[in-house]
Structure 1
Amino acid sequence: MRLTCPLCGPRDRREFYYSGSADYLTRPATDDAAGWDNHLHLRDNPAGETRDLWYHETGCAQWLLVTRDTVTHVISKVELVAK
């Protein structure tokens, strides 16, 4: 798989560190232990379009938001998390 970094151009995915779903950035609405346990330990494994966080570890050291399809492996969008 190849990711196109907005700053460095097309790169092999081995240059990047996969950090998980971008939905992970949203904290649970509740402060109870069960809500946090679900947030930290229970992950969805959706088929279809997802938004993930990737870190360009051996390149520009930027966090990227990658929109990709888990079924077809097509990457439709790569954008910087912070500008």
Structure 2
Amino acid sequence: MDQLLGLAPILLMFVAMWFILIRPAKKRQQETQNMQGSLQRGDKVITIGGMHGIIDAIEDTAVTLKIADNVRVKFDRQAIGRIEKDNSI
């Protein structure tokens, strides 16, 4: 019985670490996957590298961004960091 009580603080630390570190990371990952899955042509986005552009074409695993007149660049969907909220690029 004393051995079980000795393990209780260690188990409590693992549970606390799960709630503090792992659970929020999984939630952020799920939100990112949902955002990347809901991309549409015409969305203004920012890549994880900081490139701003408008989605011109969408494939299964890639998107083509228009970053300037007559300039289009192809990125993996996973490279899209976020959808831009305002209308200025």
Which structure: larger Rg? 2
TM-score by length of 1: 0.27
Q: Larger % of helix: which?
A: 2
Higher RCO by CA contacts (8 Å cutoff, separation 6 or greater): 1
TM-score by length of 2: 0.26
Q: Larger % of strand: which?
A: 1
